[in-house]
Structure 1
C-alpha cells in the first residue's frame, strides 16, 4: 500500500522525537536544527509530545524566529499558556518575528498587565502595529487583518506595480493582488500580480485595474467577511476605514480559521452548548460544566411546563388512558420537525442563502413542508393506533395532532432564527434542543386541545 504524504510526515515526526529529547537534555540550542526541514505545523505536532517544561526549555534556547513560526501554528490559548512563563523580553522578541495579525491574536490572550509589559518591550513600529490591531473589536475584520500589503499609486504603470511587488516580496509579505490608491490612500481599484506581469511596462494602472473590488470595513463582523470571501472566491480581501482608506488585508489562511471558528460556534450552539473558548481538552472541567449546564438548566425549566400541562389534563388522561401511550410520539414528532427547520434556516442564514426579508417565503415553505410531513406521520400514527386497538377516536386525535405539531414545529423552528437575526442575536442560539423543548410543551397543549374537542371531556 502506498504511504500517503500525511502518514510520511507523521512517521518523520515520530522518528525525530527521541532526537529532540536527547538534544534538549544535552544541548538545547542544537534542537533548532531538527526543525529546519519540518513545516511549522509538523513542528507543532513534534513538540506536542513534550512536557511543558521541555517546550519551555526549547523556546528559551532556539532563535525567537523559530519559536514565532511554531507558535503561529498553535492555538492562541495554548501558545499563551507557554509564553506567559517566559521572560517578557523574550516574548516581545518572539512576537516581533510573527506576522502582525498572528501576534495580535496571541497578545489578546494576555491579561492587561501582562500585555502592557510585553508591548513595552517591543520595538516601536511593532508595538504600534499590535496596539492598532488590538484597538479593534474581537471577531471583526480590523482585528483579523494584517497591515502588510502592497499599494500602487493610481497614476502609476505596470512597471510601477512590478517594482512595488518586488519590494513587498523582499519583506516576505503575502501577495496576490496589488491595491490601487490615490494620494490619500483611498482604495480606487485592484490589480493582480499576474495582470501586472502580463501587461506592457508602460501600460497605465487605471486601464488595467478592477475599479470595484470586493471589500470589507474594519468593523465588519468576521462571519460577513467569510461570506464575502466565499461569494467572490477571494485569496485576500482589502479592509477599509470608513473613509475608504486602506487599513489592511485579510489573507486566505485567516479566512480558513474564520470558517472553522464560525462553523464550530454554530455547531456548539445548535447542540445547546455555549461555544468553547479553547479546544476540548484545553477547556477546564468547571468551565465545561458551566457552558453545558447553563443550557441544560434553561431546557430543564422549559420542559417543566410539559409536566404542568399534563397535570392540568389529568382528568382527560384518566378518562382515556390510551392517550398516554402516544404522548412521546406526539412531542418527539413535533420537536424533530422544529429541530430540522431550525437547523436548515440557521445554516441558510449563515451562508447568506436566506435573509430576514425572506421571512414570509420561508414561513410559507415551512408550513407546506410541515403539513406534508405531518400527513405522512399522521397516516403512520393512525395505523399504529388502530393496530393497538385504542379505538377510532384516539386514532383520529393522534393523526390530527401529528399534522398540527409537525406544522407548528416547522413554523416555529424556521421563524425563531429569523427573529433572533432581526434582533441582532446569533441565530444559532435557536438550538435544536431549545426548539424541540418549546415544541414539546406546545405539542402537549395541542394534543390535549384536540382530545377535548373530539372527546368532549369537561
Structure 2
C-alpha cells in the first residue's frame, strides 16, 4: 500500500493520486500528514495540483490544511485555495495568522478575494460564515430554456458545489429570494414552460446571523441538500450545504461531549492539543467543581456529632452520594442531547418531569431495597438499615428532580445545557444528598433524636 511519505518522494503526481485513492479514511490522512517532516510538507504542497488539492484539503481538518499551506509561498498557497469551494477556503483562512491570511487573499483574483473577505467578515459561529455564496439563481420572468442557458453561463464562470446546485433559486432584480426550483424539475420540464409554473414559494431559510448549529439542524431536520441564507431584506447571500451541516453537527456534538465530561472544548484535534492547552481547558472547571465540592465538607463538619454517635452512618456516604450522582448523570446526558437537537425545551417540562419522576420512583424503590439488603449484610442494626433505605430513595428522587429541570432551564436562558456536566450534577447532589441523609437519620435513629 502506498504511503504519503513514499508518494511525495517521486516526481510523478500519479503516486500522490494513488495514495489518495488508497487512503479514503480522513483519520488516516490526518495521521500521515501530521507525521510529515517540514521538508516533506513543502514537497507535498509543491506536488499538489488543483484537482488533487480539492481532494485532499477539502476533507481534512482546516487547521491541518492551514499548516500545510504555510509550507508554500503565498502564490502557490493562493493557487491551491482557488481550487477549493469558498466555504472550505474560508475555514482554512480562519486558522491562519491574520497577516498570512491577508497575504494569501491578496494573491487571489479580485473577485475570489471579494467573496472570501465577505465570508470572513461574519462571526465564525454564524450561518453566513459557512455558506457557499455561489448559488444558482434565475429570474421569475424567464422560461425554462432561457433559465437553463443562464445556468450554463453561471457555472462556466464559477463552478458550483454539487449539493448547492441541487436547487435553483428564483430572485428579483435586487436578488431578493422569491422561490426555489429543483434543478431536476427545471431540466425535465417541457421547453417553454414558465419558471413561475415550477417555483415553490414556501421556502425554508435562515438569516445570516443565525447560529451555525441552529442552521445545521434546520437543514438536517428538513432533509435538504442545501439551505438558503438571506439577510434582513430577504436578499439571497448563499446556501449552506448538507456536508457542511454534517460537519457543524459533528463539531457541536464533540463540544457537548467534552463539556459533559467537565472540560471546555479543545477547539483543535486532540493530537494537536498541547499539554498547556489541555491544562487550560480543564483546570477552570476543576477549580469550579473543587469550590462547589467544598460545601460537602461543611455538611460533614456540621453533622460531626451525629457521625460520632453512630459511626456506621459513615459507611454508606460514598454509596448514597454516588447513587445520586449517577442518577442525575443518566438524566442530564439524555436531556442535554435532546435539548441540543431541539427535541425538548422548557415548554416540555410538564411532560419531562412526570416521565422522569415516574421512572425515578421505580428506580428509587429498587435502590432502596438493594440498599436495605446491603446494610443488613453489614450488621448495622434496623434503624441504620431503614435510614439508608429511605435516604437512597429520597436522594434518587431529589437528583432526578434537579437533573430534569436544570438542562431545560439553561436552554431557555440560551446557555448551552451541556455545561450541566456529569461532575457538576454529582457535585450538586453530593452536598444536598448528605443533608437529606443526616436529616432522615436524625428523624429515625433514637440516639440522634435526643
The TM-score normalised by the length of structure 2 is 0.91
Alignment of 1:250-289 (within 5 A): 250-289=240-279
2:131 and 2:229 in contact (8 A); partners too: yes
Query: Structure 1: any 5+ residue segments left out of the alignment?
Result: 1-10, 24-29
132, 145, 165: which one pairs with 1:146? 132
* 1:331 aligned residue: 321
| Structure 1 residues 401 and 54, CA gap change in structure 2 (3 angstroms) | same
Name the CA shift for 1:169/1:122 in 2 (closer, same or farther; >3 Å): closer
Q: Secondary structure at the match of 1:445?
A: helix
Q: CA deviation at 1:50?
A: 3.3
8 Å Cα contact 2:336/2:407 also seen in 1: yes
The one-character-per-residue Cα deviations of 1:154-174 (angstroms, maximum 9, x if unpaired) are 122232343344345444312
Summarize the alignment of residues 115-264 of structure 1 with structure 2, pairs less than 5 Å apart: 115-170=101-156, 171-174=158-161, 175-264=165-254
Alpha carbons of 1:172 and 1:119: their partners in 2 closer, same or farther (altered >3 Å)? closer
2:237 aligns to what SS in structure 1?
Answer: strand
Mapped partners of 2:419, 2:411: distance in 1: 10
Q: Flag the 1:317–1:73 CA change in 2: closer, same or farther, 3 A.
A: same
* Structure 2 gap ranges (5+): none
Query: In angstroms, what is the RMSD of aligned CA positions?
Result: 2.1
Cα distance in 2, alignment partners of residues 52 and 264 from structure 1: 30
Cα deviation per residue 1:206-240 (whole Å; 9 max; x = unaligned)? Answer: 22222112211111111111211221111111111
1:81 maps to which residue? 67
In the alignment, structure 1 residue 305 sits paired with structure 2 residue 317: no
User: Structure 1 residues 51 and 425 mapped into 2: Cα distance closer, same or farther (>3 Å)?
Assistant: same
Q: Which range is displaced more, 399-408 or 156-165?
A: 156-165
After TM superposition, what 4+ stretches of structure 1 lie above 6 angstroms from structure 2? none
What TM-score do you get using the length of structure 1 for normalisation? 0.90
Q: Deviation per CA, 1:31-90: give whole Å up to 9, x if none.
A: 423234545974975662532320212213544554354222221112222322432232
Q: How far off its partner does 1:406 sit? A: 0.9
Indicate if the aligned counterparts of 2:177 and 2:234 stay in contact, CA closer than 8 A. Answer: yes
Q: Distance in 1 between matches of 2:64 and 2:12?
A: 21
More deviation, 60-69/94-103: 60-69
Does the 8 Å CA contact 2:264/2:282 hold for their aligned counterparts? Answer: yes
Q: Is the CA contact 2:66–2:95 (under 8 Å) kept in the aligned structure 1?
A: yes
Show the counterpart of 1:3: none
| SS of residue paired to 2:9 | helix
Q: CA deviation at 1:382?
A: 1.6
For 2:335 and 2:293, how far apart are their aligned partners in 1?
23
CA-to-partner distance for each residue in 1:178-201, whole Å, 9 max, x for gaps? Answer: 111122211111111121123212
CA distance in 2, matches of 1:319, 1:193: 80
Q: Show CA shifts across 1:288-322 (max 9, x none).
A: 12212222222222222222211211111111111
Residue 21 of structure 1: how far off its partner (Å): 4.5
